[in-house]
Amino acid sequence: MAKLDTTGGVTGDTLFELRYARSRDDLWGMLDRLYGTHPGYPAFRKALDRALKVAWRERADDLKLLDLRRDLEPDWFQRPDMTGYSFYIDRFAGDLEGVVERLDYLKDLGVTYVHFMPCLKPRPGDSDGGYSVMDYRAINPAFGTMEDFEAATAACRMRGISVCVDLVINHTAKEHTWAKKARKGDPTYLDYYLTFPDDTLPMQYEETLLEVFPDNAPGNFTYYEDMGRWVWTTFNEHQWDLNWANPQIFLEMTKVMLFLANRGVEILRLDAVAFIWKRMGTRCQSEPECHMLLQALRAACRIVAPSVIHLEEAIVSPEEMLPYLGRGEHDGKEGNLAYHNSLMVQFWSALAARDTQLMTHVLGTHFPPALTNATYATYLRCHDDIGWAVTDADASAVGLNGPMHRAFLSDFYEGDFAGSFAKGELFQVNPETGDKRISGSCASLCGLEKAIMAGDSAGVDRAIDRILMGHALIASYGGVPLVYMGDEIALLNDYSYHDVADLAHDSRWLHRPRMDWERVSAAQADRGSPEGRVLSGLREIFARRAACLELHARHPTEILHTGNAQLFAFARRAPTGAMVCVFNFAETWTSIPENWAMQQGATRRHDALSDAPAGDGHGAIPLPPYARLWLR
Ligand code: GLC
């Protein structure tokens, strides 16, 4: 058996061997199929085994102890006290040392998981917000050093906060050493990327590929005169897609993954995972090999660093997203978390329409009530735009026209639609498809900016209620709620990016404002101010949530039909009793019959969110504008 010494250190390789045995088939079962016929496969097998052993041996004792704890408590990330917060290090606190100084603020908000937005060394100049990485083993020098990073993860760990960082696995910056060597013609490194001597194949691929950034980076390939080759560049020109059909890429990325795990990272956000496998004649998104690769990466991580979980970023349709949480043969073996893009889109759609029928249909039809070893990352806003991922079929199932509804949502959130409360900007308008994505901060999209500008105090109240309703929704739906930096103090759109040369082409900077610590002080000093109401409201939501065992992510989420088009409702079916969560998506009063709530299992007539009795004593539960109730 593995020995634990009295100071908590772990000695010997026994644990490694046990964990290797546990995950051997999950790992090699995939890699044999993916790479078995590759001439370099036997050497790759040895190199990967060696890399796993080396990473295990250099893993620090306190992290090994965390591994043990989480082997014993594998639901740690599904518990109702898990709340995430995403921020840019520089925009939040200047640098890594600054972040450590702000941890008490986050702790007070109820945060137990922090996502440091891209923090590895990016290319100089425009780096797509840091998603164009030139060195995976160095920290962005503007934020500090690798030592500062390890000090920051340790400080977080001490406070019970898990650190998440991005691992951009689909592409590197063209300034990465691999890319530089490829550019010079080194055949080993040319095989790290997808390059072509002429445009014959690129043109064939283009026939079925989509455009991610049609506005400022049209096309999926770039020609380099000096190389005399076309390079696959799905995103921006400076982001070169890696060739995952080469086992060497799996090996390199596994080493990077474990390197980061050994620096104290507990959640790896695997970026743009849908794009990692290419197949002629397809969109080259979410091909079966993506899931095989992701299962193998997960298995490698479970062998060396089982306390680390994977958040897979795939902003795709519901049917395409679920497999990232492990379906079919990958059940329980792939991502532990994936963004619930549909919940986010449906929140904004129902809010604009004051009608939840589409939301109820989509969430009730496409998503299973529970998942194995996995749950959603629920969110209202993040650093990216909102794309109106509503299919024509789902729209018509509730009597809507897909293209018209999507156009309505863009107009509404841009602020153009008559009577719209929102203020945002368009992102990546695609005249070919008619797609118009939206940028904007949570508060501005919820109506706070317009209401303040108009001096409309009732409008301010409604905007605040929308913000709080949305957060009560993501806190109870099932998953890990992620707060996006500044949303807790209702930060408005930041138009200053228009004046910054490297940023002006990308309207996503509209909702990436600098943290406003004066506004935090104001919010703390005056709980009646808009920012004070939002800050104390969010703190309350997360504190109540932590005490509600029904909200553990393993308990099924059943979408309910209320028969009232302005209400969205679901039940969390815990063995100890149900919690029925009800949300009013309109600015008008309504009610639900007490009987209905009782039938759904809310027999105690108690709202756990306000900790107050629910119901008027005459058979109805009145619901004010934007009400949110967690009925027990
Ligand atoms: C992800 C990121 C996005 C970035 C893209 C390319 O989607 O969230 O911000 O532009 O990947 O790395």
Closest CA to 128 of 312, 499, 383, 379: 383
Mean per-residue pLDDT for 214-236? 94
Q: Let me know if residue 350 belongs to a domain.
A: no
pLDDT above 90 for 275: yes
- The mean pLDDT value for 139-147 works out to 98
Other beta carbons less than 10 A from residue 218's beta carbon: 10
Tokens of 531: 């920012």
Quote the pTM value.
Answer: 0.96
Could you identify the atom of ligand 1 that is nearest to the CA of residue 129?
9
- With contact defined as beta carbons under 8 Å apart, do 191 and 181 qualify? no
Rounded to an integer, what distance in angstroms lies between the CA atom of residue 57 and that of residue 140?
Answer: 27
Q: Which of 193, 209, 241 is the last residue of a domain?
A: 241
Res 616: pLDDT = 82
pLDDT value of residue 2:
46
Q: Is residue 469 included in any domain, yes or no?
A: no
Position 11 scores a pLDDT of 62
Cβ of 122 closer than 6 Å to ligand 1, yes or no, is no
- As for how many domains the chain has, the answer is 3
**Mean pLDDT score, 66-72:** 96
| 61 within some domain | yes
End-to-end CA distance of the chain: 46
pLDDT at 10 over 80: no
Residue 183: pLDDT over 60: yes
Ligand 1 atom nearest to CA at 382:
8
Helix/strand/coil percentages in the chain, nearest 5: 45, 20, 40
Residue 261 located in a structural domain: yes
CA of 212 to the centre of ligand 1 (A): 10
Average pLDDT over residues 572-579: 96
Q: Name the packing angle between helices 288-304 and 14-35 (round to 10°).
A: 160
Looking at the DSSP bridge assignments, the partners of residue 168 are 271
Same domain, 254 and 224: no
The predicted structure's pLDDT at residue 318: 87
The arithmetic mean of pLDDT across residues 352-381, rounded, is: 96
The answer to whether residues 38 and 62 belong to one domain is yes
User: Ligand 1 pocket, 312 CB below 6 A?
Assistant: no
Residues 258 and 228 in one domain: no
Whether residue 150 lies inside any domain: the answer is: no
pLDDT digits (tens, 9 = 90+) for 296-334: 999 999 999 999 999 999 999 888 999 999 999 999 999
- The predicted structure's pLDDT at residue 218: 87
Mean pLDDT of 132-136: 98
Is 313 considered catalytic here?
yes
Is residue 5 pLDDT above 60, yes or no?
A: no
Residue 166 is among the residues annotated as catalytic for this protein: no
Residue range 171-191: mean pLDDT, rounded: 98
pLDDT at 1 over 50: no
What is the average pLDDT across 156-185? 98
Given a cut of 50, is residue 425 above it in pLDDT?
yes
Report pLDDT digits (tens) over 15-49. 999 999 999 999 999 999 999 999 999 999 999 99
Name the residue range of residue 66's domain. 1-74+248-313
3-state secondary structure of 135: strand
- Per-chain mean pLDDT for the chain: 96
What is the full DSSP assignment across 181-210? HHHTT-HHHHTTB-EESSSHHHHHHHTT--
State the pLDDT at residue 615: 86
Mutate to test the pocket of ligand 1, among 128, 240, 275, 510 (most ligand atoms within 8 A of CB): 128
Q: Span 355-363, mean pLDDT?
A: 98
Sheet holding 221-224, edge to edge: 195-196, 229-232, 221-224
Strand 309-312 with 267-271, pairing: parallel
pLDDT at 6 over 80: no
The answer to whether residues 70 and 19 belong to one domain is yes
pLDDT (0 to 100) of residue 229: 98
Task: Tell me how far the alpha carbon of residue 498 lies from the centroid of ligand 1, in angstroms.
Answer: 20
What are the structure tokens assigned to 140, written together?
A: 């962005």
Give a yes or no: residue 627 inside a domain: yes
Residue range 467-521, pLDDT digits in tens = 999 999 999 999 999 999 999 999 999 999 999 999 999 999 999 999 999 999 9
In angstroms, the CA 272 to CA 315 distance is: 8
